Amino acid sequence: MNVRLALLGGQKVREKPFPPHPIIGEEEKRAVMEVLESSKLSTFIAQPGEHFLGGAKIRQFEKDFASYFDTKYAVAFNSATSALHAAVVACGTKAGEEVLVPPYTFTSTATCALMNNSIPVFVDIQPDIFCMDPAKIEQAIKPQTRAIIPVHLFGHPADMDEILVIAKKHGLKVIEDCAQAPGALYKGNLVGTIGDCGVFSFQETKNIMTGEGGMLITSNDEIAEIARMVRNHGEVILEGQKQRTYKADILGWGYRMTELEAALGIEQLRKLDRLNNQRIDLANYLSEKLKGLDGFTPPVVRSHNKHVYYVFPIRYDESKTGISRDLFVKALVAEGIPFGAGYVRPLYLNPIYHENKPFIYNYYGKGIKYEKGICQVTERLYEKELMLTAVCRPPATQKDMDDIVRAISKILENRGELKA
């Protein structure tokens, strides 16, 4: 191609930004206006009756969500972080007990344990699908381990069969973190329905969104009941009672969703399958285009799994391109293609686990290690091998994906400029 790279002063492959996300249609606008005109924005009240469980939109969103996933219960929250916290409480984890989590995920997957005065223990991930490695779980289990939180990262399901076998053997609860994978399938089963409960995020970057918001699904009566109490200041209305009561052993918070968010969620859920299918079509197209480029491995999709591509991750091999991953990503961004290098740093390397250790470690955290080297696959991916983009989603088109390939090809064909 012999064209000067944008990083070095040449013309960009792409001047215009990628199409904006999220997609907000007339349906969402009408639903929000209906709530605003009703003047009923929350309607949670601490009295017996239907409004103890939230307003009409919240209850409808929960009903629709439970129906989609074929679970007995769906409990709406103001965020997936809140729902994860409630899940840890509802699954019976106590202060000082341990929760197994992957280190390559959003911070809340681990801090939800800290919020319960429990201890996150990090288990390394698989290098191909980026999810918790079942082969490394058992060696992390101790007498005080109570739960496992597998994350279906980037939209690909974790290996749930192996995780469930281990959990059953040791009497552990399984909380599925499905924040990035609504509608993903593991061997024909929707993620979130496989463990004891599943948690979803509706933050505005997600596959479907309510701006902020989350949902916990389960078919376990006790988990659902406790989750509702946790989101609602610990209050519970018992059947037949005329006054509100407090269950003293449950500490609750203000984790309630609003009617505005629920109204958005009802409409977005109706579009989930269509939006996911568009993501899959774009991802398949981009993967096919990348197959001929040496040094780039597009996302792996395991047999009998459905990947819903919250983001599009690429394994990068510096030994084949001759350019460091970070420099390649910098060159891509200069060409007008938004890419990130390495996703988040391994969670255990963040200051909260070192400089600002939660007080709980003073009592229960003996022997817990949060040091470099404990999860080597995660560290290698973060430092050298993983790059990803969030623009492989509607309303982007195949032409937009072509620009990604053009930019990568341009850098590869002019790599000598970066080596000079």
Assess contact for 319 and 339: CB atoms under 8 A: no
Please compute, for residue 33, the number of CA atoms within 13 A of its CA located in the half-sphere on the CB side.
6
> Domains plus CATH for the chain?
26-270 (3.40.640.10), 272-419 (3.90.1150.10)
pLDDT of residue 84 exceeding 60 = yes
Where residue 21 falls (left for φ over 0; alpha for ψ -120 to 50; beta otherwise) is: beta
Block residue for tokens 């040496």: 294
Amino acid at the residue 407? A
Q: What is the pLDDT of residue 357?
A: 72
pLDDT of residue 268 exceeding 70 = yes
Phi, psi (degrees; rounded to nearest 5) at 193: -105, 0
Block residue for tokens 């500490």: 251
Residue 198 pairs in a beta bridge with 176, 217
pLDDT in tens, 304-322: 999 999 999 999 999 999 9
Q: What is the pLDDT of residue 53?
A: 82
Spatial distance between the Cα atoms of 339 and 286, rounded to a whole number of angstroms: 14
Q: Give the residue-averaged pLDDT of 97-102.
A: 97
pLDDT of residue 44 exceeding 70 = yes
State what percent of residues in the chain have pLDDT above 70: 93
Confidence label for 355 from pLDDT (cuts 50, 70 and 90): confident
pLDDT in tens, 370-412: 999 999 999 999 999 999 999 999 999 999 999 999 999 999 9
Spatial distance between the Cα atoms of 239 and 40, rounded to a whole number of angstroms: 25
Confidence label for 248 from pLDDT (cuts 50, 70 and 90): very low
Spatial distance between the Cα atoms of 318 and 384, rounded to a whole number of angstroms: 8
Quick check: bond before 395 cis, omega within 30? Answer: yes
pLDDT in tens, 118-176: 999 999 999 999 999 999 999 999 999 999 999 999 999 999 999 999 999 999 999 99
* pTM beyond 0.85, yes or no: yes
Residue 313 pairs in a beta bridge with 388
HEC assignment per residue over the chain: CCCCCHHHCCCCCCCCCCCCCCCCCHHHHHHHHHHHHHCCCCCCCCCCCHHHHCCHHHHHHHHHHHHHHCCCEEEEECCHHHHHHHHHHHCCCCCCCEEEECCCCCCHHHHHHHCCCCEEEECCECCCCCCECHHHCHHHCCCCEEEECCECHHHCCCCHHHHHHHHHHHCCEEEEECCCCCCCEECCEECCCCCCEEEEECECCCCCCCECCEEEEECCHHHHHHHHHHHECCEECCCCCCCCEECCCCCCCECCCCHHHHHHHHHHHHCHHHHHHHHHHHHHHHHHHHCCCCCEECCCCCCCEECCCCCEEEEECHHHHCCCHHHHHHHHHHCCCCCEECCCCCHHHCHHHCCCCCCCHHHHCCCCCCCCCCCHHHHHHHHHHEEEECCCCCCCCHHHHHHHHHHHHHHHHCHHHHHC
Quick one: 20 exposed, middle or buried, by C-beta within 10 A (0-12, 13-18, 19+)?
exposed
pLDDT of residue 364 exceeding 80 = no
Mean of the per-residue pLDDT values of the chain: 93
Tokens coding 147? 């739960």
Q: What is the pLDDT of residue 246?
A: 44
Q: What is the pLDDT of residue 2?
A: 58
pLDDT of residue 114 exceeding 70 = yes
Assess contact for 182 and 76: CB atoms under 8 A: no
Least confident of 35-39, 158-162, 244-248: 244-248
Q: How far is CA 152 from CA 68, 124, 129, 132, 156, in A?
A: 18, 14, 9, 9, 5
Q: What is the pLDDT of residue 250?
A: 79
pLDDT in tens, 190-225: 999 999 999 999 999 999 999 999 999 999 999 999
Least confident of 59-73, 329-343, 347-361: 347-361
Spatial distance between the Cα atoms of 54 and 261, rounded to a whole number of angstroms: 12
